[in-house]
Structure 1
Amino acid sequence: MIKAVDNKKTIAELTPLGDSAVVVTFGSEMSISTHKQIMALMNMLEDTPFEGFVESVPAFTNLTIFYDPLIVYQTYQGKDSSLISPFKIVSALVEKKLASLTHHKNQPSHTVEIPVCYGGEYGPDLQDVAKINGLTSDEVISIHSSGEYLVYMVGFAPGFPFLGGMSEKIKAPRRSSPRASIPKGSVGIAGMQTGVYPISTPGGWQLIGQTPKPLFLPEQNPPSLLEAGNIVKFIPITQHEFLKFTKER
């Protein structure tokens, strides 16, 4: 493990992941400030990649940077004989970027509106979430659809967004018995997080609604409607609007 330090303060910790990736960790707690650091470093790598850079993948508290070890070694090793491994070479390159992280401006957040039909067959757990929080179903819908949600990361299933910023008023634990199959487009709640299932998959989140809008787009590049850093707004729609949207596709 390597610690990146600025003014005697640890900015991040760098650890190897196999022989072709380095994980840059910015602490142990999910927060907007940590997310901004992750996105700033990711944008810097996209704007000015080092030789051998492949891609970077953001998560809640870290950024995993993938690289081609052969290209890295052949390009940089001769410039500094003390850098004897691709991991140390990449770590040194990343440390230089971390030193100027505070001067980098993040890209403006892109807002994506997602229509949701709440309750009924589309949200079988809506009443349970309401009961847990001492609310009516309409109040849960109002609170959930009035928020703006930050996409912290995409994972678990192709295109699945982990969203932060949900009101504590509608938090709910995972189901005690996960479902074997959840319809694609299902909008769920687990703890203080909300998210959307892009494909049919097993899962234990409380389902409060469903969107007809596809989130996983395998024929496109990138194949995910949402990316880390996006802002999501949920727009309530009726069952009629849901079915109309589905037929039009």
Structure 2
Amino acid sequence: MSGVAIEPLGEDALLLRLDRRIDPAVNARVHALARRIEAARWPWVREVVPAYASLAVCLAQDACDDAGGIDATAEALRVLLAGGDDPDDARAAAAPPIEIPVCHAPAFAPDLDAVAAHAGLSTAEVIALHCAGDYRVAMTGFAPGFPYLLGLDPRLAMPRRGTPRTRVPAGSVAIGGAQTGIYPREGPGGWQLIGRTPVTLFDPHRDPPCLLSAGARVRFVAIDEDAFRAASGDRAP
């Protein structure tokens, strides 16, 4: 895998930079590289954290304490990168998508009309286009379990709100620029809310706690309000 720069990231990590732009092909390379590093099972690697166009490799403290530990890891990474593409990458990319049910009732979708007006579409067309997308989790961040999803139809892209909300309900499905995502827990946010899922995205008592991990494929499935309430234990909006 060529064209990867290796940079220090603080005292206990390395940053592998593939590019400086948001691009599905670049992000796919990030996840392919993450899988290869994880498959190497180096005992001194504590965690691998994918982003849009880069990858953080966090090291165990004893590796950092050793003289030349970070340099040795950088050299091991260069050898790995020189090995070419992993034949398992195609199989990983073809993994079945995780289906996320979404209710687009007005109580759950306060910005759906605005997104439709911005796109010059009806709300039904916005819902159909959003649910037709084949999404991939580019990375997680902002809040535990928050998935940044690539694959949004360009017609649905819309800037974030001028004034963020102080309270966005858990499970809110939203659009921010050319991305879509899901708020895993209640909190502030400025993305355009177009629906809500009854699915719990983050549970610290679950293993793993995040339902959607970086690299996973996602599809949205529209459901009605009755199905939402049945799945969520009849929670109020």
TM-score per shorter chain, which class? Answer: over 0.9
Question: Counterparts in 2 of 1:93-242, with a 5 A limit?
Answer: 93-106=76-89, 107=92, 108-242=94-228
Aligned to 1:51, which of 35, 43, 50? 43
Deviations 1:161-207 (A, max 9, x none): 00011111111110011000100000000111100000001000000
Which segment is superposed worse, 42-51 or 210-219?
42-51
CA distance in structure 2 between the partners assigned to 1:170 and 1:158 by the alignment: 25
The 8 Å contact of residues 14 and 58 in structure 2, kept in 1 or not, is answered as yes
Structure 2 length normalisation: TM-score?
Answer: 0.92
CA distance in structure 2 between the partners assigned to 1:94 and 1:194 by the alignment: 32
User: By how many angstroms is 1:86 displaced?
Assistant: 2.2
Structure 1 stretches lacking a partner, 5+ long = 1-5, 75-83
Aligned to 2:60, which of 62, 68, 71? 68
User: Sequence identity, in percent?
Assistant: 36
CA distance in structure 2 between the partners assigned to 1:183 and 1:51 by the alignment: 40
Which segment is superposed worse, 33-42 or 152-161?
33-42
CA distance in structure 2 between the partners assigned to 1:244 and 1:115 by the alignment: 12
Structure 1 length normalisation: TM-score?
Answer: 0.88
User: By how many angstroms is 1:248 displaced?
Assistant: 7.9
Amino acid aligned to 1:22: L
Partner of 1:78: none
Amino acid aligned to 1:230: A
Deviations 1:126-179 (A, max 9, x none): 000001111111111111111111110011101000001111111111001100
Deviations 1:73-129 (A, max 9, x none): 65xxxxxxxxx5222111101111111142442224341000000140100000000
Aligned-residue Cα RMSD (Å) equals 1.8
SS of residue in 1 equivalent to 2:167: strand
Amino acid aligned to 1:99: A
Partner of 2:74: 91
Structure 2 stretches lacking a partner, 5+ long = none
The 8 Å contact of residues 185 and 214 in structure 1, kept in 2 or not, is answered as yes
CA distance in structure 2 between the partners assigned to 1:211 and 1:101 by the alignment: 40
Q: Moved runs in structure 1, 4+ residues, more than 4 A?
A: none
User: By how many angstroms is 1:19 displaced?
Assistant: 1.2
Amino acid aligned to 1:175: R
Aligned length: 232
